[in-house]
Amino acid sequence: MAAGMTAAMLTLLVVAEQAPVAAASAAPAAWELASVQPAACAETARTRFADCQSFVVTWRLEQAPGNAPIGSATAAVTISENLGPGTREWSAHYTARFFEFQGEAGAGTTAMVAVDCRGDCAVVGTTASAEPVGEGSVIRGDIGFSSTTGSVSTSRQLISLDVFHPAAVGNGTTSGGPHGELGPVRCDDAVQNGLGARGRPGCIMEDSIPTFDINSSEFNVEPAPKHAAFVTAAQADPKTGGWGKVGSGKPLNREFLGSAAAQRKKRSHVCPPSWPRNPSEPGTPPGQRDSCDEYPFSSTEQGVPEYAVTEHVPQADNSRGGTRLSEFYAKYHILDGDQFYVQP
């Protein structure tokens, strides 16, 4: 196992009949990581809450490091990671399918998954042992992780498959190291703080940029069609510079100012009290009265007079749009400075 690695608790399942163990080579041999070729990952797409990597790995068994190979083992490996809502614990699933062995590696080879956490995370589980593998063998398992320190923290998870053989020096690998690196995973405790965290504790893939779908059914508030129609028009306005539009390459950045009063003051620079609202007929319900709506949103770095445009939108529709945005910030753990796109 590579230096500095700790083995995680796994349910190891070996499928297909195993070949008998052969006698060790007369001279010391060594395993070398020969190649790692990326492949399409079919288990899940990379999102704010999931990651997936697939690759084909070949290990070469050499008579001695740098010498001619005396065998090899090849496996298709898939690692997926899923972050659950409302918790700072998550899991990864590992599958390795061995489909080719050559030379002396065809008998006596064993394999074991090893895991390392970098940053604020811990592997949940106990030590696993090496299992015999041959052509058609499958090793699979679930690995638990947790993050418990700090209001906001990040980590990476490094997962490797170590191979062993009686002919290898010390029966183990001499090189290779992690070939699956997941994350960065960022967790927060949802305590209202200078970064804007609120809602429930949780973890996200920090470098995944989510999209705020204004009228998505995932939010617990009525749709805001007139607000969405305004955002559609605003994204086409040259003044907004394409900020936040899906496909523009220019995501918005949340700006958390620490208090509702500070946020209102910033918004007033775009929608001041003097903004010319349309008069309402006597008896008009408050929700149907005219209001100033702005895009980019005032809760983003781009929501300033330089880029923002305004429109007349009924107060109820405007408020529902704002509530949906707040729910998006909470569900997707959008903290101060985080990027996101907007789909009207």
For 6-19, write each residue's pLDDT tens digit. 333 222 223 332 33
Output the pLDDT for position 1.
36
Percent of the chain scored above 70 by pLDDT? 81
Question: Does one domain contain both 154 and 226?
Answer: no
Q: Are residues 215 and 183 in the same domain?
A: no
Residue 42 vs residue 174, higher pLDDT: 42
More confident: 182 or 226: 226
The mean pLDDT value of the chain amounts to 83
Which among 47-61, 95-109, 229-243 has the top mean pLDDT?
Answer: 229-243
Same domain? For 95 and 225 the reply is no
* One domain, residues 315 and 176: no
88 assigned to some structural domain: yes
| Predicted confidence (pLDDT) at residue 269 exceeds the cutoff of 60 | yes
Residue 258's pLDDT is 82
Q: Evaluate if residue 200 carries a pLDDT over 80.
A: no
pLDDT of residue 245: 98
Instruction: Name the pLDDT band for 35 (thresholds 50, 70, 90).
Output: low
Residue 192 reports pLDDT greater than 60: no
Reported confidence tier of residue 316, pLDDT bands at 50, 70, 90: very high
Number of domains in the chain: 2
Same domain, 301 and 183: no
pLDDT (average), residues 79-102: 90
Report if residue 11 sits inside a domain. Answer: no
Evaluate whether residue 258 is within a structural domain: yes
Of the residues 159, 188, 217, the one at which a domain ends: 188
Q: Are residues 76 and 122 both part of a single domain?
A: yes
Whether residues 167 and 214 share a domain: the answer is: no
Q: Is the pLDDT of residue 294 over 60?
A: yes
Share of the chain above pLDDT 90, in %: 47
The answer to whether residue 90 sits within a structural domain is yes
Indicate if 86 and 119 belong to the same structural domain: yes
Give mean pLDDT, residues 225-241: 98
Greater pLDDT, 11 or 267: 267
Q: Tell me whether residue 259 is in a domain.
A: yes
- Residue 325: inside a domain, yes or no? yes
Do residues 102 and 249 share a domain? Answer: no
- Mean pLDDT on 331-339: 92
Q: Is residue 248 scored above 50 in pLDDT?
A: yes
96 and 242, same structural domain? no
Q: Rounded CA gap, 306 and 263, in Å?
A: 17
What is the mean predicted confidence (pLDDT) over 123-136?
82
pLDDT confidence band for 43 (50 / 70 / 90): low
Q: Is residue 12 included in any domain, yes or no? A: no
Residues 119, 37 share a domain: yes
Residue 209 confidence (pLDDT) = 96
Range of the domain at 68: 29-188
Any domain includes 98 = yes
Residues 215 and 308 in one domain: yes
* Choice among 24-28, 120-124, 219-223, 316-320 with the minimum mean pLDDT: 24-28
